[in-house]
Amino acid sequence: LPLFERLERRIVDGERPGLEADLDLALTERPALEIINDTLLAGMKTVGELFGSGQMQLPFVLQSAEVMKAAVAHLEPHMEKSDSEGKGTIVLATVKGDVHDIGKNLVDIILSNNGYTVVNLGIKQPISTILSAAEEHHAHAVGMSGLLVKSTVIMKENLQEMNSRGLAARLPVLLGGAALTRSYVENDLSDVYDGRVSYARDAFEGLRLMDATMA
């Protein structure tokens, strides 16, 4: 297979040996971010479709995710970094009950490379932990990721909790993850939080929204 198809295939097949060599080769032709966005994420999309239609079993999905993570880790040092720093602090977490973190970690990389301090709490984080971290780090925003449909319900509860703690005036919220839709966030979730709630389709929209929030 040609290089970029082979790389995409590696994600789908969860094939790690030789990954780094292929990525190094790919880097001579395309920037790191383009490799992630156009090639690796296309592979993850196929994994999702195969899994969703019952053609792929969970252990293989896990292998694909591990190859994806290794690929991103290998590419990260090659990503463009802006000179700006100190643009603000965001606490980032995957919500309670949800283990998916590839997207969240991409958001971390993109924001960190573009001048933000990111406090990445990891997966399965209850709102109490997220809010303690936000207070401790004087965060300017909270970012929540979730890929399961049940995570959208958790996000709603989290926003209600934030509202009842009176955080709306000072803590804007950024939401993302495959289970969400723009209309669910903008219509249903915005209603439960008196502060700013924004939906980011991908990590770059997350960056644009953070820039807009901090402006």
Tell whether residue 43 is a contact of ligand B1M (CB under 6 A). Answer: no
108-137: which residues touch ligand B1M (CB under 6 A)?
Answer: none
Among 25, 73, 99, 212, binds ligand B1M (CB under 6 A): 99
Q: Which residues pair with 116 in a beta bridge?
A: 88
Q: How is residue 143 written in tokens? A: 């970012």
Pattern 175-194, ligand B1M, x by CB under 6 A: xxxxx---------------
Selected from 3, 19, 79, 148, the binder of ligand B1M by CB under 6 A is 148
The answer to whether 79 contacts ligand B1M (rule: CB under 6 A) is no
Q: Does 44 bind ligand B1M (CB under 6 A)?
A: yes
Alpha helices in 146-202 (DSSP H): 149-164, 182-183, 190-192
Strand partners, 90: 118, 141
Whose CB is nearest to ligand B1M? 103
Q: At what angle do helices 3-13 and 41-52 cross, to 10 degrees?
A: 40
What is the rounded (10 degree) CA torsion for 135, 181, 79, 3?
150
The DSSP element (H or E) to which 90 belongs, if any, is strand 88-94
Q: Give 107 or 134: the residue with its C-beta nearer to ligand B1M.
A: 107
Which positions from 152 to 171 touch ligand B1M by CB under 6 A, shown as an x/- string? --------------------
Give me the least distance between CB of 64 and ligand B1M, in Å please.
Answer: 6
Measured CA distances, 171 to 83, 124, 140 (Å): 26, 21, 6
Closest CA to 141 of 166, 167, 163: 167
Q: Tell the smallest beta-carbon distance from residue 177 to ligand B1M (Å).
A: 4
Task: Report helix, strand and coil shares of the chain as percent, to nearest 5.
Answer: 55, 10, 30
Residue 91 within binding range of ligand B1M, rule CB under 6 A:
no
Length of the chain: 215
Using CB under 6 A, list all residues that contact ligand B1M. 41, 44, 47-48, 51-52, 58, 61-62, 65, 92, 97-104, 106-107, 143-145, 147-149, 174-179, 200, 202-203, 206
